[in-house]
Amino acid sequence: MHPGGVSGGYGRKGAPDTARMLEALNTRFLPNTVVIFRPGDRKAPRISRMAKFVNNYGMREGKATAYVCSGRTCKAPSTDPGEMLAALGR
């Protein structure tokens, strides 16, 4: 990922699959990367008003889902923490 990238995570707050994604992110040093979490179990969470683009994405198959983007391009969404880290390229 190039500097200034964004990783968006969508899931249910406190759910085991969401915790696995967040724990995986916490294993990496991600300078110049913005990580945004959007609760997928709420209709209009506060973050969706501040970062409106998060409304274009969501959970896949009811699982926590990560979107890794750089510039205006996003990689395929992933529900696997390992795939998410690979997409981050770190």
Percentage, residues of the chain above pLDDT 90: 24
- Which of 5, 9, 63 is closest to 34 using CA atoms? 5
pLDDT band at 2 (very low <50, low <70, confident <90, very high): very low
pLDDT digits (tens, 9 = 90+) for 28-43: 888 888 888 888 777 7
Contact by Cβ (8 Å): 7, 67: yes
pLDDT at position 1 is 37
Domain count, the chain: 1
Residues 69-82 have a mean pLDDT of 88
pLDDT digits (tens, 9 = 90+) for 13-23: 889 999 999 99
User: What range does the domain containing 44 cover?
Assistant: 15-67+81-88
Strands (DSSP E) along the chain, which ranges? 5-11, 33-39, 65-70, 73-74
- The answer to the question of residue 6 being in a domain is no
Tokens of 29: 């040093």
- The answer to the question of residue 9 being in a domain is no
| Residue 25 identity | L
